[in-house]
Amino acid sequence: MAETLLRSQQAFGGDGWQPAKGSWSYASADAPTFVITVPSGAASIYNVGDRIKLTQTTVKYFIITAITDTTLTVYGGIDYTLVDAAISLNYYSHQKAPLGFPLSPIKWTVVATDNGNRSQSSPAANTWYNLNAALAITIPIGIWSTSYRVMLDGYVASGTNPETQATLSTANNSESDVYSTIAMSHQAPTGVNSFQLAMPGPTRVLVLAAKTVYYLNARTRTSGQGSISFRGDTVLTVISATCSYL
């Protein structure tokens, strides 16, 4: 009775939330996204990007990232996790900012960082290297705005003109998106053999139908270059992906 009254107040209270029809139940997890089983006809009620509010002991908020006839795939950002337990007081909203929904992009951003000096000695020209196998970012289902920042270091013999590149790729030994690649190129004067430049990678919008791992790779286009490095010990290396449904 109390839950029915609360739903009635919320439905007409102008807070942006609508009571969901029928019961919801936990289906599965592929962290940081989760699947909720809902009554048939979900695609005619919910949109990708809709906000979700539900209670599992405490109130939790999610964004819908995929829909089938009987399931909702949802992302809870860095704060909310769906568990295998009863779901109550389940609401949805087509609005961007229904009452209580957290809108800070920080809460809806996946981040990977590295503060180490990562290097490949004697790199072969035009070969991509993953300089730190542990530095990768796993981006869930949905639409995401991605970017990265890295300090590139190119060590060369005096007199060699180096070109060092970085890219964000779906494989650890390739360039999957030419628009995600940055480059540093200098003419090496006599007596100078190391170049460093902190560079932001381009912002790219990714539309993902499945959770995907992205790697930060580097290469040189110069034969005989001594090394290529990501100097996270000088400027923190950062990869980030922010949910575009905000």
Q: What is the pLDDT of residues 100-116, one digit of tens each?
A: 999 999 999 999 999 99
Sign of CA dihedral 140, 141, 145, 150: positive
Please list the residue range(s) of the chain that carry CATH number 2.40.30: 2-103
Q: What is the pLDDT of residues 200-236, one digit of tens each?
A: 889 999 999 999 999 999 999 988 888 899 999 999 9
Selected residue with higher pLDDT from 2 and 14: 14
For residue 52, give Cα distances in angstroms to 8, 72, 155, 171.
Answer: 17, 10, 51, 33
Fold annotation for 108-243: Jelly Rolls (2.60.120)
**Cβ distance 127 to 95 under 8 Å?**
no
This prediction has a pTM of: 0.86
Backbone angles phi, psi at 8, to 5 degrees: -65, -40
CATH code of the region 2-103:
2.40.30
Please list the residue range(s) of the chain that carry CATH number 2.60.120.760: 108-243
Query: Which of 116, 139, 144 shows the shortest CA–CA distance to 215?
Result: 139
Q: What is the pLDDT of residues 26-46, one digit of tens each?
A: 999 999 999 999 999 999 999
Residue 15, C-beta contacts closer than 8 angstroms, at least 6 positions apart: 98, 99, 100
**Direct distance between the N- and C-terminal alpha carbons of the chain, in angstroms, rounded to an integer:** 34
Give the Cα separation of 25 and 27 in Å (integer): 6
